[in-house]
């Protein structure tokens, strides 16, 4: 480590400290600086971790731990982001007064970050509207279109660890309330960097002249969600968990207005709590996250478990399964996506609506394409990230395997765990009138479209260079077989295609129709492999064997690449 490098990071940290309005992060940075200046190598390493890089807009916006530093989430970084976005909006709409609606969830500092943003937007001459209280992300996404504003900002880290927070940005107008994509993300980032390089955030103009939206915005979301989903009035025995997030109040209002039986709520997880005390990781996909929901479901003999993540933009479903110790089986995102996509196609056909598009991300199951073919609908694959799915023209349903679903694109242009939950409950109620369980409906799907099996191999790394090494190895020495099946073709998506912008991903097409996607995670230090195998329903057991064999080969390849 050079003296120049040490002096640079110490200078950066001192400059950051001088403009930090937050007593807590200021105190921790003062301690780190003092220790580093006193010769502490761990303190100096920590400063480099916090200041050598900067949070940038990724797959799902800005996300990071709440700590001091440019590579963390804090009031300085949020102020720079808000001022940069304000500058971008003023440049984008030079002949008008831009407007922005700001929402926030129940995570630590969410309201503080949202209020800072509102004050800085108002201080920059932008009409700023703060949502009335902590609310789900889908309500903010809805408000962008409902209020016809230039942009929306949601303060949330979704299902990230408790120590994190984040910042999602949506655009109105031609973007129809979708999250930002290229080139807007790079343009916004350039404005933010200019602010960071030239301004002390304590000197940025602020104003308390922002508006606070009324409850009518939430009422409008509830009404619009119910209006878009046909519901059969059948009693359902359901358990719901909000995962210590903000979903319960809005979800329960929508369910009641739709005429659905109000679920049994997991009381310990019903109210927002930024500490997430009952889960190790507030993500329905993580082991143990649904344990309390399973217990309550067993107590009531529930026929369905519905789980939202903390900001309620994702949905997880579990169904009874006597063969499992929990008594329930959590459906995969692909299984839920296939059923909701099938339902959307059927409803579209019943309405005699010509055309329409089903869409999913490139790492999601090909099952949705089979539904589209059967119902004479178009099918589109997008890059990973719901900001791409939501932008597909003519969309009637879209999803990605990471528990994100869009069932009402005329209302919201983002994944919406509340409307998706209501739609799944409505579907369950309909099938109950036909004496069909969800398990039986999954069998019916396989009988009609074929059996689609999916799995993942997710490899977490401590050295980020391992990810690049694995991708480079796969490109330089691609496998000729996987799981004993010939690799017929490889698509390198790094250079883009007619249908997709460039992305660091590889698609391996196997001779039996199976598919493997390899890509670095956009939010974690992981490389992920997505495996999809299809078989006729009477040969479904083969699919599990193929998945196991392919996973074993991929694990060996990754180990070789990093040896």
The per-residue pLDDT string of the chain (563 residues; one tens digit each, 9 = 90 and over) reads: 457 788 999 999 999 999 999 999 999 999 999 999 999 999 999 999 999 999 988 766 899 999 999 999 999 999 999 999 999 999 999 999 999 999 999 999 999 999 999 999 999 999 999 999 999 999 999 999 999 999 999 999 999 999 999 999 999 999 999 999 989 999 999 999 999 999 999 999 999 999 999 999 999 999 999 998 888 878 999 999 999 999 999 999 999 999 999 999 999 999 999 999 999 999 999 999 999 999 999 999 999 999 999 999 999 999 999 999 999 999 999 999 999 999 999 999 998 877 899 999 999 999 999 999 999 999 999 999 899 999 999 999 999 999 999 999 999 999 999 999 999 999 999 999 999 999 999 999 999 999 999 999 999 888 889 999 999 999 999 999 999 999 999 999 998 777 888 899 999 999 999 999 999 987 678 899 999 999 999 999 999 999 999 999 999 999 999 98
The conformation of residue 196, written as its DSSP 8-state character, comes to H
Residue 405 β-bridge partners: 399
Alpha-carbon gap, residue 415 to 252, rounded angstroms: 18
Alpha-carbon gap, residue 336 to 405, rounded angstroms: 9
Alpha-carbon gap, residue 102 to 169, rounded angstroms: 9
Residue 329 β-bridge partners: 319
The C-alpha angle 225, 372, 255, rounded to 5 degrees, equals 20
The conformation of residue 58, written as its DSSP 8-state character, comes to B
pLDDT of residue 139: 98
Contacts of 346 (CB under 8 A, 6+ apart): 375
Alpha-carbon gap, residue 405 to 315, rounded angstroms: 8
Alpha-carbon gap, residue 8 to 16, rounded angstroms: 12
pLDDT of residue 72: 97
pLDDT of residue 1: 44
Alpha-carbon gap, residue 501 to 362, rounded angstroms: 12
Torsion of CA 297, 302, 303, 307, to 10 degrees: -50
CB 321 within 8 A of CB 328: yes
Torsion of CA 272, 288, 443, 487, to 10 degrees: 110
CB 71 within 8 A of CB 65: no
* Catalytic residue status for 198: no
By CB atoms closer than 10 A (0-12, 13-18, 19+), residue 471 is buried
Alpha-carbon gap, residue 381 to 367, rounded angstroms: 12
The active-site residue, picked from 99, 158, 361, 514, is 158
Alpha-carbon gap, residue 100 to 148, rounded angstroms: 9
By CB atoms closer than 10 A (0-12, 13-18, 19+), residue 55 is buried
- C-beta contacts of 375-378 below 8 A and 24+ residues apart: 375/345, 375/346, 375/348, 375/349, 377/345, 377/348
Alpha-carbon gap, residue 269 to 17, rounded angstroms: 37
Contacts of 352 (CB under 8 A, 6+ apart): none
Alpha-carbon gap, residue 18 to 68, rounded angstroms: 12
Alpha-carbon gap, residue 46 to 48, rounded angstroms: 5
* 273 phi and psi angles, rounded to 5 deg: -150, 110
Instruction: Characterise 504 by phi-psi region: left (phi > 0), alpha (psi -120 to 50), beta (else).
Output: beta
Alpha-carbon gap, residue 90 to 272, rounded angstroms: 35
CB 421 within 8 A of CB 406: no
Question: Hey, how many other C-beta atoms are within 10 angstroms of the C-beta on 480?
Answer: 8
What b/e string do you get for 292-317 counting C-beta neighbours within 10 Å, with b at 16 or more?
bbbebbeeeebbbbbbbbbbbbbbbb
Cα–Cα distances (Å) from 119 to 125, 206, 530, in that order, read 10, 5, 43
Contacts of 484 (CB under 8 A, 6+ apart): 549
Domains and CATH numbers, the chain: 53-214 (3.40.120.10), 234-449 (3.40.120.10), 451-561 (3.30.310.50)
Q: Give the chain's length.
A: 563
Q: The pTM is what? A: 0.95
């Amino acid at each position: 480590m050079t003296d120049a490098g040490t002096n640079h990071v110490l200078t950066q940290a001192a400059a950051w400290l001088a403009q930090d309005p937050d007593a807590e992060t200021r105190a921790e940075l003062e301690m780190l600086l003092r220790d580093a200046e006193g010769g502490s190598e761990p303190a100096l390493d920590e400063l480099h971790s916090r200041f050598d890089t900067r949070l940038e807009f990724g797959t799902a916006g800005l996300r990071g731990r709440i700590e001091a530093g440019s590579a963390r989430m804090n009031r300085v970084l949020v102020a720079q982001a808000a001022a940069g976005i304000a500058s971008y909006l003023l440049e984008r709409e030079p002949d008008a007064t831009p407007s922005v609606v700001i929402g926030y969830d129940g995570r630590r500092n969410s309201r503080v970050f949202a209020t800072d943003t509102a004050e800085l937007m108002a201080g920059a001459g932008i009409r700023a509207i703060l949502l009335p209280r902590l609310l789900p992300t889908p309500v903010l996404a809805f408000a962008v279109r409902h209020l016809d504003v230039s942009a929306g900002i949601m303060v949330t880290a979704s299902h990230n660890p408790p120590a994190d927070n984040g910042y999602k940005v949506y655009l109105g107008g031609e973007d129809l309330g979708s999250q930002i994509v290229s080139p807007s993300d790079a343009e916004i980032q350039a404005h933010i960097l200019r602010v960071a390089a030239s301004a002390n955030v304590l000197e940025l103009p602020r104003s308390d002249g922002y508006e606070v939206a009324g409850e009518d915005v939430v009422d409008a979301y509830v009404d619009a969600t119910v209006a878009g989903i046909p519901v059969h009035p059948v009693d359902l025995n359901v358990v719901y968990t909000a995962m210590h997030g903000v979903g319960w109040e809005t979800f329960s209002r929508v369910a009641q207005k739709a005429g659905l039986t109000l679920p049994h709520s997991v009381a310990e997880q019903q109210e927002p709590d930024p500490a997430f005390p009952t889960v190790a990781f507030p993500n329905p996909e993580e082991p143990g996250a649904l344990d309390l929901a399973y217990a309550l479901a067993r107590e009531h003999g529930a026929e369905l478990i519905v789980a939202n993540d903390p900001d309620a933009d994702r949905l997880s479903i579990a169904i009874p399964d006597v063969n499992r110790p929990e008594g329930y089986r959590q459906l995969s995102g692909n299984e839920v996506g296939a059923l909701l996509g099938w339902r959307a196609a059927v409803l579209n056909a019943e309405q005699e609506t010509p055309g329409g598009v089903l869409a999913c991300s490139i790492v999601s199951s090909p099952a949705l394409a089979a539904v589209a073919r059967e119902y004479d609908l178009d099918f589109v694959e997008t890059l990973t990230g719901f900001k791409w799915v939501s932008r597909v023209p003519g969309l009637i349903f879209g999803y990605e395997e990471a528990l994100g679903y869009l069932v009402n694109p005329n209302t919201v242009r983002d994944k919406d765990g509340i409307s998706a939950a209501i739609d799944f409950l409505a579907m369950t109620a309909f099938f109950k009138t036909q004496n069909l369980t969800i398990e039986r409906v999954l069998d019916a799907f396989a009988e009609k479209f074929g059996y689609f099996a999916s799995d993942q191999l997710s490899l977490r790394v401590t050295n980020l260079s391992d990810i690049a090494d694995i991708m480079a190895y796969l490109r330089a020495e691609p496998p000729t077989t996987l799981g004993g099946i010939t690799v017929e073709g490889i698509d390198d998506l790094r250079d883009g295609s007619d249908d997709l912008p460039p992305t660091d991903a590889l698609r391996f097409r196997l001779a039996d129709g199976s598919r493997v996607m390899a890509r670095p995670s956009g939010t974690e230090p992981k490389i992920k492999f997505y495996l999809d195998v299809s078989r006729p329903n009477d040969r479904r057991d083969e699919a599990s064997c193929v998945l196991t064999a392919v996973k074993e080969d991929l694990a060996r390849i990754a180990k070789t690449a990093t040896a």
